[in-house]
Structure 1
Amino acid sequence: DGSDISPATKENIHSNTNSESYQDRLSRLEGDKQSLILQVSVLTDQVEAQGVKISDLESSLVEHQQKLNSTEEMLQQELLHRTSLENQKLSLMGEVSYLKLTLADMEGRQGQGAEKQHKAEGLFKELRILKDKVEQLEDQKLQYEKKLKTTKVKENTDFLDERRFQIFIQRFVYPHPYRLRRTQSGGLQAMDPDVSQFRRGGLRATAGPRLTRTLESYDSARDMNIPFSQWTREQVCGWLEDYGLGQYVSLTRQWVENGQTLLSATPQDFEKEMGMKNPLHRKKLQLALSAVTTKVVEKSSELDHIWVTRWLDDIGLPQYKDQFHEARVDGRMIQYLTVNDLLTLKVTSQLHHLSIKCAIHVLHANKFNPNCLRRRPGEEKQPSPSEVVQWSNHRVMEWLRAVDLAEYAPNLRGSGVHGGLIILEPRFSSETLALLLNIPPQKTLLRRHLATAFSALVGTQGMQEKREYGNATGHVPLTTTAKVKPKKLGFTQFSHLRKRKPDESADYICPTDWSTDSEWGFPITFCSTQGWIPKLILLI
C-alpha cells in the first residue's frame, strides 16, 4: 500500500535511481572517449601518410618542371632551325623558278633554232651564188681589215670583220632581208648601230656563238629608211620573233602581206588571225607598233621580260615571276600596266598593287635605269629618304637586321615591301610593317622599337605627311589582306567604249604624266634631302 511508505524512504529510492542513471551516462561517455581516441590515432596516421605522398608529389613536380623547361628550350631551338630551313627553302625556290624561266626560254629558242637552221641552208645556197660578186669587193674588205687591226679591242676582230663583210654584201651586192652573223646573245646587242662599240655579254651568255637573225638581218629596209608599212612578210615575222612573240610567226606568215597589215589591224584581228588569245600579248604588240610608227625611242624599251623577272625579285614579289614571264611583260609594258592587267597577271592583293605602283614611280624617277635599286648596304650611317626610296626588298631586310629585328626579317619575303613603298605610300606605317613582320600585338615594346626605327628611317617631314594623311576625313587604313576587284562598267558607259582613246591613262596603275603634280605646281623629285612625299592618287 503506497500510503504506508514514508517520505524518507521515497527520497532514498529516488536518489538510488538517479545515481544509477549517472553511472550509465559516465560509462557511455568513457566508451565514446575511447572510440574518439582510436579515431584520432587513425586519422593521425592517415595525415602522416598523406604528408609523405605530398612530399613525393612535390619532388616529382619539380622534376617534371625541369623536364618541361628543357623541352621548351629544345622546342625554341627546333623553331629557330625550322625558320632557317624555311628561309633556305624560299631562296632555293627562287633560284629554281629562275632556272625554270631560263630553261623555258632556252627551250623556246631551241625550238626556233630548227626553223632558223632551215632558213640558213637556203641562205648558204644564195651566198654561193653571190660568191663571184663578193670577189669584186675584196679590195674594200682589205681596207676595212687594216682599219680593224688598229682598234684596241683585239678579241672582237673576227666579229667586226664578218659583220663589215656582211654589211657590204647587203648594201652593194644583193640587199636580202636575211643575213647570218655570230652572236653571244639573242640579238639584243645588234640594236646598237655603232659597230665599233662592241660590248661582250648582254642578257645571257652562251658557251659558243650561234646563228641568229639580227635587227639588220630582218630590217634591211630600215637601213634604207623604208617605213614599217612597206616591210615584207619575212621582215615582220623576224621582228615578231626577236620581240618575244615567236609563237605567232606561223599564223602571221599566212595572214600578213606586209607591215601595213599589222598597222591597220585591230586587237580583234590579232586574236582572230594570229591566234593571240593573251590580252597582254596583244597589248605588247600594240605598244611595239606604236613605237615603230612614231619612231619614239623610250628608255624603258631597253628592258626586256627577263629583266622584269629580276625586278620582281628586287621589289619583293617573286611569286609573280611565272605569270609576268608567260605574258612577256617588258619595260615598255610596265609603265602602261592597268589595274585589270595586274589582275590578269593574278596580282589581287591591294598591297602588292601599291608595291608595283611605287616601284614604277622609282623607275620613272631614275629614267628606267636598270640598276637604280640598291640591294646591299652602303657606307651611309643615317640614310636620307631620297636614298631609302631606292632600297630593294633585300636592302630593307638588311635594315631590319641592323635595328635588331633579324628574326622577323625573313617574313618580308614575298611581301612586296621595298624603299619606294615605305616612302611614297602615305598609308604605309610602322603598324603595317609590324603586321607584315608577324610581330604579335602583345609585344608592345618590340612594336614601339620598330615604330621608333621606322620614324628615323622615313624622316620628320615624311612622318608628318603620313600623320596628316591618316587624320584626313575619309581615310581608309591600309591592310595586308585587302583585295582588288576588277573595275566594272555601268550600263551607260558601254556606249563610250568606242570613243575612248587608246592612250588614255586614267586606268594606268602608274600614270605616265606622274612627273608634275598639279596641286603643288612643280615636278616630283626624289633627290630632296627633306624626303618630300608625293600625294599619290590611289587608283584602286
Structure 2
Amino acid sequence: PAPSVYLGTFQILHLLEDLKMALEMLEDPQEKEALRNQIPGATAVCIREWFEENLVNHHSSNNETYQERLARLEGDKESLILQVSVLTDQVEAQGEKIRDLEICLEGHQLKLNATEEMLQQELLSRTSLETQKLDLMAEVSDLKIKLVGMEKEQSEYEEKQNKAEGLLQELRHLKIKVEELENERNQYEWKLKATKVSRILGGLIQLLVVTIVPYETNVLCCKLIVLSWHSCLERIRRTQSGNFPADDLGLAEFRRGGLRATAGPRLSRSKETKGQKSDYNAPFAQWSTERVCNWLEDFGLGQYVIFARQWVTSGHTLLTATPQDMEKEMGIKHPLHRKKLVLAIKSINAKQDEKSAQLDHIWVTRWLDDIGLPQYKDQFHESRVDGRMLQYLTVNDLLFLKVTSQLHHLSIKCAIHVLHVNSFNPHCLRRRPVEENNISPSEVVQWSNHRVMEWLRSVDLAEYAPNLRGSGVHGGLIILEPCFNGDTLAMLLNIPPQKTLLRRHLTTNFNVLIGPEAQQEKREITESTAYTPLTTTAKVRPKKLGFSHFGNLRKKKFDESTDYICPMDTNPAATNGSQKSYSGYKGLSPFTDRELDQVGQTD
C-alpha cells in the first residue's frame, strides 16, 4: 500500500540525512578514508547503482512532457493526501493517549492529596506523641526528685535510728555506771561515818586530858570512851561495807589545821597531773585514758569518747582490742569507723610512719572535688575516710559508700594510683593551667577535673566543658585507663554522634594530649575482641558467693577484706622532678574485664 511505501521512503530520507550529518562531523580525512574502507563492497555497489539510476532518471525527466509531469504530480498529490490522512489518524490517536494520561494524572493527583493529608495527620499524631513524651519525661523527673527525697528521708531515718541505738547503748552503760557509783557512795558513806567516829573519839580524849578533873575520873572516862568506841567499831565491821582494814580506823592524832580524811581526791588529782606531764613522750600503750580520748577526738571519732572513758584504761587497751571488742565496748557499729581505728592501731603496732596518715578526712573531701566526684563528699565525710583509708580502700568499701558506677570506681582507682606514685603528696594534683609549651603525659596524669575542663576550653570546646562536672574525669583516668578514649570523652561531654567533625576534632586533640605510648595502648585494647566500651550506666555489684564460700563468712568480716581497689606498689617509681616519664605510672594496672568479674558483676 501507498502509506507503507511512503513511510519506507521517509525513513530512507532520514537515514540519508543522518549519513550526511555524520560525514560532515568527520573532519579528519584519515577517519573518512578508514570509514570508506570499512563499507562492504556489495553495499557500496548497490548505493552507487542507485545514485547512477537517479542521475539517469534526472536526465530523462528533463525530456518528459507536461502531461507526464502533470500525471506524476497528481500521483504525488494523492500520496500526500494519503499521508495527511494517516498523520491525522496518528494525531487523533496521540490525543486519545494524552487524554488518558491526563485522567491518570488526575487520579495520581488525588492519591497525592490523600497521601499529603495522611502525612499531616501523621505529623499531628507525632506532635501529640512528642508532647506526651515530654509530659512523661517531666513526670519521670518529678518521680526521680521524689525518689531522691525519699532516699534522703530514709537515710535521715537510718541516721536517727543509729543515733537512737547509740543513745540506748549509752543509757545502758550509764545505768551500769550509776549502780557502780551507788555502791561506791555507800562504801564512802560508811567510811565517812567511821572516820567521823574516830575523829570525835580522838578529840574527846584530848579534851578530857587537858581538862582539870581528878586523875581517877580521867582514867575512868577514858576507859568508858574506849569501850564505847570498840563497840561502834564492831558494829561497822559487821555491815557490808566493813571491809576496810582495822589499822585505818586507829586513833589518829587530832590537831587543828591538819588535813582532813576527805582530802583523798585532791591528793589523787595532783598526782595524776604530775603523771600526765611525765608520760607526754610515753609510748601509746602507756597513754592515760584522757589522752586516748583526746586522740580519738583529734582522729575524727569524738562520738565514741563517752564509751572510751568507761572501757579504756590505757593505750594498751586499744592496742590489744579486736574489731569485735570495739563494736561491743565502744559502740563502733559503723564498719568504716571501725576500719579507720583498726588501721591506725596496726600502724602504731608496726611502728610505720605512713605518708597517707598525714591526710585527714577533710583533705579527702577536697580531693573528691579535684577528681570530679563531689557528689560523694557527704558519704566520705560521714565515714571519716582519710588518706590511710584511701590506701587500703576496697571494692566493698566503695559499694558501702554508695559508689556503684563502674566509671567512678575506675576514676577513684586511678586517682589513688596517682597518690601512690607521688607518695601521697597532698599537692600533687594540678588545678590551674600554667605556661606549658610541650605537655607530657606525666604532667597530664596529675591534672585535676578543673584542669581538664580548662584544656577543653583551650581547644575550642568551652560549651561542653561544664558537662564534666561530677563525671569523675581527671588526668589519671585519661592516661592510666586503657578503655578511656576519645569516644568515651565525647560521650561524657554529650557531643551528639551526628557531629562527626566536632568528634574528630576532639579525638585529634585527645590523641595529641595523651601521647603516642598511651595512644598505642588504647588502640590495642580497642581492637581486642574482649573490649567493652565504658558507659555511664555500667554498675559494679558485689560478687555472688557460691556454696563453698559460706564457711568463710563468719571468719572474714566486712572490715577485714583485703580486696583493695588499688593495690599498693611495693617499689613505686619516683616521679618528683622534671625527669618523670609516663612509664613511672605503669606500676599499677587499672581494671580489666577479668578483674571486674572477680570483684563483682557489671550491668
TM-score interval for Structure 1 and Structure 2 normalised by the shorter chain:
0.5 to 0.7
Partner of 2:371: 315
CA contact (8 A) 1:351 1:480 kept: yes
| Higher helix proportion (structure 1 or 2) | 2
Partner of 1:457: 513
CA contact (8 A) 2:372 2:469 kept: yes
CA contact (8 A) 2:432 2:450 kept: yes
CA contact (8 A) 1:423 1:533 kept: no
Deviation at 1:262, TM superposition (A): 1.8
CA contact (8 A) 1:358 1:420 kept: yes
Partner of 2:302: 246
Q: Does 1:332 align with 2:388?
A: yes
Deviation at 1:228, TM superposition (A): 2.4
CA contact (8 A) 1:411 1:436 kept: yes
Work out the CA distance in 1 between the residues paired with 2:320 and 2:584: 45
Q: 1:488 to 1:259 in 2, by over 3 A?
A: farther
CA contact (8 A) 2:296 2:305 kept: yes
The TM-score, its normalising length taken from structure 2, stands at 0.50
- Which of 415, 422, 433 aligns to 1:366? It is 422
- Which of 394, 411, 414 aligns to 2:467? It is 411
Deviations 1:440-489 (A, max 9, x none): 11111110110001000011121101111222342322212101102343
Partner of 2:444: 388
Partner of 2:410: 354
Deviation at 1:295, TM superposition (A): 1.6
- Which of 278, 300, 311 aligns to 2:334? It is 278
Partner of 1:433: 489
CA contact (8 A) 1:177 1:234 kept: no
- Structure 2 letter corresponding to 1:275: G
RMSD (Å), alpha carbons:
2.8
Q: 1:505 to 1:366 in 2, by over 3 A?
A: farther
- Which of 444, 447, 453 aligns to 2:503? It is 447
CA contact (8 A) 1:336 1:508 kept: yes
Work out the CA distance in 2 between the residues paired with 1:531 and 1:227: 42
Structure 1: stretches of 5+ with no match in the other structure: 1-171, 179-219, 517-522
| Count of residues paired in the alignment | 322
Work out the CA distance in 1 between the residues paired with 2:305 and 2:391: 26
Instruction: Write the mapping of 1:211-222 to structure 2, written as runs, cut at 5 A.
Output: 221=279
Q: Does the residue aligned with 1:445 lie in a helix, a strand or coil?
A: helix
Larger radius of gyration: 2
- Structure 2 letter corresponding to 1:479: T
Partner of 1:175: 274
Q: Does the residue aligned with 1:271 lie in a helix, a strand or coil?
A: helix
Partner of 1:233: 289
Deviation at 1:230, TM superposition (A): 2.8
Instruction: Write the mapping of 1:48-197 to structure 2, written as runs, cut at 5 A.
Output: 175-177=274-276
Structure 2: stretches of 5+ with no match in the other structure: 1-270, 597-603
Q: 1:173 to 1:474 in 2, by over 3 A?
A: closer
Partner of 1:484: 540
Q: Does the residue aligned with 2:504 lie in a helix, a strand or coil?
A: helix
Deviations 1:486-525 (A, max 9, x none): 2343321243457769998851001013646xxxxxx586
- Structure 1 letter corresponding to 2:346: S
- Structure 2 letter corresponding to 1:221: D
CA contact (8 A) 1:315 1:417 kept: yes
Work out the CA distance in 1 between the residues paired with 2:362 and 2:436: 31
- Structure 1 letter corresponding to 2:453: M
Work out the CA distance in 2 between the residues paired with 1:293 and 1:344: 27
Work out the CA distance in 1 between the residues paired with 2:357 and 2:490: 37
The percent identity for this pair of structures is: 69
Q: Does the residue aligned with 1:252 lie in a helix, a strand or coil?
A: helix
Partner of 1:536: 590
Partner of 1:378: 434
Q: 1:502 to 1:277 in 2, by over 3 A?
A: closer
Work out the CA distance in 2 between the residues paired with 1:536 and 1:255: 44
CA contact (8 A) 2:464 2:493 kept: yes
Work out the CA distance in 2 between the residues paired with 1:501 and 1:342: 16
Deviation at 1:174, TM superposition (A): 5.6
Deviations 1:162-219 (A, max 9, x none): xxxxxxxxxx9963437xxxxxxxxxxxxxxxxxxxxxxxxxxxxxxxxxxxxxxxxx
CA contact (8 A) 2:286 2:316 kept: yes
- Structure 2 letter corresponding to 1:493: H
- Structure 2 letter corresponding to 1:536: P
Q: Does the residue aligned with 1:485 lie in a helix, a strand or coil?
A: strand
Work out the CA distance in 2 between the residues paired with 1:298 and 1:501: 25
Work out the CA distance in 2 between the residues paired with 1:430 and 1:457: 11
Deviation at 1:265, TM superposition (A): 2.0
Work out the CA distance in 1 between the residues paired with 2:485 and 2:585: 13
- Structure 1 letter corresponding to 2:590: L
The TM-score, its normalising length taken from structure 1, stands at 0.56
